[in-house]
Structure 1
Amino acid sequence: MIVTAKQASSHCGGHPAMNSAKPTLPAQILSQTPSTSSITDRLWRHSLYNVLDQQPLDRVNVLGDNSHGHLSCVNTLSWTPDGQMLLSGGDDRTIWRMDPDYDVDYPFVCKSVIQTGHKANIFNAHLLPHSTRIVSVAGDNQVRVFEAAAALAHSQSEPETTYSIDQLDCRVLRCHTNRVKRIVTEDSPDLFLTVAEDGSVRQHDLRVSHTCGPGGSCPAPLIKCQHELSALALSPLSPYQFVVAGESPYGYLFDRRNTGRSFDEEWGSLPPTSGPSIATCVRRFGRKTKPRDDVYGTHITGARMSSHNGHEVLLSYSGDAVYLYSTRDNPQDEDEHHGSSIIPSSQEHRTDVIPIASDESHIDVQLAETNDNEASSPLQRATADQGDLDGSDSDDLTLDAMPWDDPSVPIILPRRRFAGAGNVETVKDVNFLGPEDEFVTSGSDDGNFFIWHKATGELHGIYEGDGSVVNVIEGHPFLPLIAISGIDSTVKLFAPVNHRSEFSRIDKQEDIIRSNSRGSGQLMTRGQLALIRAALSGQELSEGNPCNVQ
């Protein structure tokens, strides 16, 4: 389901703020928005968002309830560029649209529900820029494009309306062969990228028709990797570059500027449907890890590129932390931020293998040995690993290595590490917050979401955002308003308030970080289980090929 929502009065699933004190910023601000292209607008947004650093956040609304809203987990949230609508989608295979009402502070309410026709959970949904098209991707391997003009034009004065695929023009793309996880849009109503667990990233151009399926004419993917991909990021300031990640300890930076020419296409023939990748892998983003660590199970659950500067990259590692990189960093430089960047030879890539049990039912997870100099408190441990980024104890560290990675592609090491959140149970996204991306945020297995200062790595806040797990955090395009979703069937809105926050958990940070640290130490990923199953069945792990360069 895709739900489109606008800020609205507190009926139809919109709960009022949690106490009588009004939020700092009224919804009427939306009606005073200056031109999005003006310098005045940027200064205006910056002044509004400054309160995020000065005042605590609190929950100001809950979208949905037991009788209205999504029926299960909410996996995706997406604000429209003008901030007037919020799209949400989830396991119930519907998309919501929520809209604003300028008479009430902050509540958004569902105005349109789109029954997508997907046969599995929706993982992502976006409105294509300069259009009325909504794109969704799901676990049924499909990409669906809806001409949703009717749903988007639905009047606030009208009751909530559900639209079926029979009422909306729907185009189904079956180019991927496994679950499709993420969409990134460009400044175009026709172009967008998708990433899937089939290891491919595809560029879709809605102006060009083709036939999917066996014997079809799906264009060749931009890239094709030998492992699953699930995270994709692109910055509007550098749209020729994109970052992908998945079942590998690396994030990959690809460049579309050197795609070459196809004379057949220029003469009107259909593009090739197979062959090497089109984009070029120019950098890998990696970490230094202890030599005893088993990197075969390491994977990345979320990626984000800064929309403010175009070069900063966030990667969220399952069972570990969030790391900040820059595409501008020279992999051969050595400085105080990321220490020695000398890449060891392939002979120096070391991996300790966990002994394989003789019976799958008796698999034990080997926990890493405790360092003699381990920090004494959870807060110290959350920041102590910064030394690894600074090059200290470099003799005890090695770069993550996987057999399918091309050692000729340079590795960039992180500038900063943001720790404390738990990322084990589900797929956590990661994001920037603030008009200049001053903050970094991530959900957590404990139902909280964390906010850190990007410049220092200092923990800024911990807030309860879900009854179970927070997976998705999306900041409003210009207001200090944050939408949160996870395992609950509801969407929560957070904003700065001028009173004590009822949902802040920063006073319990020691206990929270300690608990999350214990959970991360017992992670066994799908990659590790696959290795164990392969060993038990007598199969050898195929080295495969690196992400092919086309």
Structure 2
Amino acid sequence: ARNVRNADWSRTVRRERGSNAAFDAFAAMESKSETESSENKVEFAKDIFNLPTDSDENFVLLHSKREFDDTFTIPFQRKMILTRNFISRLGLEAELEGHSGCVNCLEWSTSGELLASGSDDCQIIIWDPFSRRKLKTIQSGHQGNIFSVKFLPNSNNGTIVSGAGDYKIRVHDVNASETTMACSCHANRVKRLATAPNLPFMFWSAAEDGLILQFDLRQPHTCSNTCKNVLVNLICLFGAHAEAKCVAINPLRPELLAVGANDPYIRLYDRRMLKPTTYKRRPDDVYASSHWERLGMDSPERGESEEDNSFQQQYPTHNLPSNCVKYFVAGHLPIKRLDFRKKFRTLACTYIAFSPQGNELLANLGGEQIYLFDIVKPRRPKAFGVPLTCLTQEHSTHSNGYHLNGTTNSSKYRLKFHPVKSKLPPNVDALRQAANDIFAKGQHTAAIELYNKAINLCPNAAVLYGNRAAIFMKRGWDGDMYCALRDCYKALEVDPDFFKAHFRLVRCLYELHKNQEAYDSFKLFKTKYPEHVKTSACVALDHDINKAISAKTNDDCGCSNSKSKAHDFMSSSGFNEVNASFSRDDSNNFENYQEKEWTSQAFDFSERFCGHCNTTTDIKEANFFGSNYIVAGSDDGTFFTWDRKTTNIVRILKGDSSIVNCLQPHPSCCLLATSGIESVVRLWSPRPEDGQREVREVTDFQDQAQSNQLRMNMNPLETMLLNMGYRIPHDMDENDSDREANILQCRQS
């Protein structure tokens, strides 16, 4: 009878959900004899649920897996907290009114029962989000905008820490509505606070004076001219204009502390290797006009060794051993730094967040895109050359690429030939064909999204990477050329004889101003594919590369002795072109030798998320929404939701009349809190399945993303005119005429 019931259940499942190998295997397991040991059942169940399925959100399978594997409980909760169906129904649930100024920060309690918000009105409000009531209003005592609030863990939601634009940090007793500690150790605006799980007595702060401070409430604290709790001093690493913008603690490995500054590098420190150090400042530093004056020092002149040595002696980095930190940066940013400066664009990390599993780090870069870094298996930036799979070198000194120096005889390299690759699966090939058709119509972003889906289904198809690289090169958004380079590199690793990928790689190197590497790679291309040398595309590229190399050689020969000491100092250090081009070359900046070493070893990103705009405010957040989605605010008053695996935009909602800055997901249910320039806090949750469309939804993803990209590339004058209501029509082709009138405006100044 038991076997009959199982057979009926199996047939019902197949009839309702379609044929599924995992269900068939599960039914077969249930029909096995009861004499089979429970241990074998568990192992058999593990094998079952490793079978491929049509959806990672199959609730029945995941629920059954949890029954057999107790270690799957937490992953099950994280996966089921948010599904694609919930995202498609996400809508505005409530608006919490109570502030009289911009709401700059939001924070959930550990249990998710309470929500705290801080505002320009210098008040902290504690909300009950489920009854939509204001429970308590705390007069913070701050004299500036509140930028960060945090519940201290395991304090029964009774202690809140706040940091503000008045340079102060305050600890508040919620029940007594009083301030228990006021710290004025920082010399500039306090931008972010961080807490560690299960540590109710410690927190960390990041401020625009370049300092990361560590606080322990078990020890008495007195503010004076000498601060003894400096964990990281960024000023002694890269100069007077260093500013700490954000800080975060890994939720599963609290010894890891991530720091974001006013540069594109993300620093991941191991706190176990750091010992708090001290610094001194003058009593009148509040009126100082520069960071150096706040520290009671004169700005050092770069290139003057006595000044540099004196600076390092007064503020050494002895508390930072060489192996205490890892640096992360998008691989193209060191190369494009000068281009950003010419356009008066600044790069700064406005927010960093760890994934729920603690293995990834998400960074929102002001003036650029959002990047995801793998901190467990970090990846090096792609070498500027062809992969070793394309050739065999007798004495190679590069592990992930090949640099031909122009003097080596090409006959020492033996070309390798590989068999023709298998055809694509039908569903993947259909996506490829649809993407090509859309690309032919000029819809570049939509074509890239289709290729993202195809690559997610078939990650080892060279043609998919090669074609996506071509679309990246055509679209030309920030970082697209480097992503095209990565795709070409991957395509050549899979299929070393893919000559289109090789040619596009050379073009990417040229566009990234790696002229010598482009010349060397193109020389190999002409050796390997002589039949394509005379084509018009090859002739034009060859001419462009030789012209660029000649121009650079003439510039180098015509250099005058009036070059700044800063440039001489950097060029004498012997570091490679990538890091030299990204060095802080302002006349009053200083860069520590240790900092140069760390930046030269920075790791690359694993994923990139595009479409939003982050240029107007420096507190814009990006966060994990469940395990499979990313959310971030934008200058156009919307917030974006991306699929974590494909990096495609899945939802855009209007969250503010001007700018969305803060997005904080609930820790245990599908509830999202957002805020921005308006004085309200908005709560978003899945709406009823009644067929009604969310009125705040933006349906044209490609148009919205393109408008944001144009806004990010405007110079400051154009941005000012845009904020005043003017439209900037340049850089729009004939297909953009209909879109011009629909560009969303940033808030007026």
Q: TM-score, normalised by structure 2?
A: 0.52
Question: C-alpha distance in 2, partners of 1:305/1:142?
Answer: 23
Q: Percent of aligned positions with the same letter in both sequences? A: 29
Structure 1 or 2: more helix by fraction = 2
Q: 459, 465, 468: which one pairs with 2:649?
A: 459
**Which one-letter code corresponds to 2:152 in the other structure?**
L
Partner of 1:7: none
Preserved contact between residue 52 and residue 480 of structure 1 (Cα < 8 Å): no
Preserved contact between residue 95 and residue 680 of structure 2 (Cα < 8 Å): yes
Preserved contact between residue 185 and residue 192 of structure 1 (Cα < 8 Å): yes
Question: C-alpha distance in 2, partners of 1:321/1:509?
Answer: 16
Partner of 1:288: 332
**Which one-letter code corresponds to 1:509 in the other structure?**
F
How many residues align? The count is 422
Q: 117, 124, 135: which one pairs with 1:95?
A: 124
Partner of 1:442: 632
Partner of 1:11: none
Q: Deviations over 1:143-166 (max 9, x none)?
A: 10012234xxxxxxxxxxxx5xxx
**Which one-letter code corresponds to 1:278 in the other structure?**
N
Question: C-alpha distance in 1, partners of 2:145/2:276?
Answer: 38
Aligned-residue offset at 1:76: 0.2
Give the direction of change, closer, same or farther, for the CA distance of 1:479–1:258 in structure 2 (3 Å limit): same
Is 1:58 equivalent to 2:107 in the alignment?
no
The structure whose Rg is larger is: 2
Give the direction of change, closer, same or farther, for the CA distance of 1:48–1:313 in structure 2 (3 Å limit): closer
Aligned-residue offset at 1:80: 0.3
Is 1:414 equivalent to 2:605 in the alignment?
yes
Aligned-residue offset at 1:440: 1.2
Aligned-residue offset at 1:298: 3.2
Give the direction of change, closer, same or farther, for the CA distance of 1:149–1:454 in structure 2 (3 Å limit): same
Is 1:190 equivalent to 2:201 in the alignment?
yes
Q: Deviations over 1:184-227 (max 9, x none)?
A: 1012111111100011111111111132122x453233333331
The secondary structure found in structure 1 opposite 2:631 is strand
Q: 615, 625, 632: which one pairs with 1:424?
A: 615
Preserved contact between residue 424 and residue 523 of structure 1 (Cα < 8 Å): no
Preserved contact between residue 117 and residue 125 of structure 2 (Cα < 8 Å): yes
**Which one-letter code corresponds to 1:284 in the other structure?**
F
The secondary structure found in structure 2 opposite 1:466 is coil
Preserved contact between residue 122 and residue 146 of structure 2 (Cα < 8 Å): yes
Question: C-alpha distance in 2, partners of 1:261/1:299?
Answer: 28
Partner of 1:27: none
Q: 140, 150, 153: which one pairs with 1:116?
A: 140
1:115-194 equivalence runs, <5 A: 115-131=139-155, 132-150=158-176, 163=177, 168-187=178-197, 188-194=199-205
Question: C-alpha distance in 2, partners of 1:304/1:256?
Answer: 17
Preserved contact between residue 632 and residue 639 of structure 2 (Cα < 8 Å): yes
Aligned-residue offset at 1:342: 7.4
Question: C-alpha distance in 1, partners of 2:132/2:350?
Answer: 27
Partner of 1:533: none
Partner of 2:376: 328
Question: C-alpha distance in 2, partners of 1:51/1:457?
Answer: 14
Partner of 2:10: none
More relative contact order, 1 or 2 (CA 8 Å, 6+ apart): 1
Is 1:218 equivalent to 2:262 in the alignment?
no
Q: Deviations over 1:328-350 (max 9, x none)?
A: 34454759xxx9997999xxxxx
| Residue ranges of structure 2 left out of the alignment (5+ in a row) | 1-69, 278-313, 388-397, 404-439, 449-474, 490-504, 514-577, 585-590, 718-749
Question: C-alpha distance in 2, partners of 1:313/1:147?
Answer: 32
The secondary structure found in structure 1 opposite 2:658 is coil
Question: C-alpha distance in 2, partners of 1:277/1:94?
Answer: 40
| Residue ranges of structure 1 left out of the alignment (5+ in a row) | 1-36, 101-105, 151-162, 263-272, 346-372, 526-550
Partner of 2:319: 278
Partner of 2:263: 248
Is 1:397 equivalent to 2:578 in the alignment?
no
Q: TM-score, normalised by structure 1?
A: 0.69
The secondary structure found in structure 1 opposite 2:700 is helix
Q: 109, 124, 128: which one pairs with 1:80?
A: 109
Question: C-alpha distance in 2, partners of 1:341/1:53?
Answer: 44
Preserved contact between residue 78 and residue 86 of structure 1 (Cα < 8 Å): yes
Preserved contact between residue 58 and residue 496 of structure 1 (Cα < 8 Å): yes
Is 1:479 equivalent to 2:669 in the alignment?
yes
Aligned-residue offset at 1:397: 2.7
Partner of 2:273: 258
Question: C-alpha distance in 2, partners of 1:464/1:341?
Answer: 47
Structure 1 or 2: more strand by fraction = 1
Aligned-residue offset at 1:251: 1.6
Is 1:510 equivalent to 2:702 in the alignment?
yes
1:202-217 equivalence runs, <5 A: 202-214=213-225, 216-217=226-227
Is 1:470 equivalent to 2:481 in the alignment?
no
Partner of 2:723: none
Aligned-residue offset at 1:45: 5.6
The secondary structure found in structure 1 opposite 2:645 is coil
Aligned-residue offset at 1:316: 1.4
Partner of 1:387: 484
Aligned-residue offset at 1:312: 1.0
**Which one-letter code corresponds to 1:315 in the other structure?**
A
**Which one-letter code corresponds to 2:634 in the other structure?**
S
Question: C-alpha distance in 2, partners of 1:253/1:433?
Answer: 18
Question: C-alpha distance in 2, partners of 1:235/1:241?
Answer: 6
Q: Deviations over 1:5-61 (max 9, x none)?
A: xxxxxxxxxxxxxxxxxxxxxxxxxxxxxxxx9975764564342265563211010
Question: C-alpha distance in 2, partners of 1:448/1:341?
Answer: 43
Give the direction of change, closer, same or farther, for the CA distance of 1:278–1:470 in structure 2 (3 Å limit): same
**Which one-letter code corresponds to 1:387 in the other structure?**
A
Give the direction of change, closer, same or farther, for the CA distance of 1:332–1:194 in structure 2 (3 Å limit): same
Question: C-alpha distance in 1, partners of 2:215/2:715?
Answer: 36
Preserved contact between residue 288 and residue 389 of structure 1 (Cα < 8 Å): no
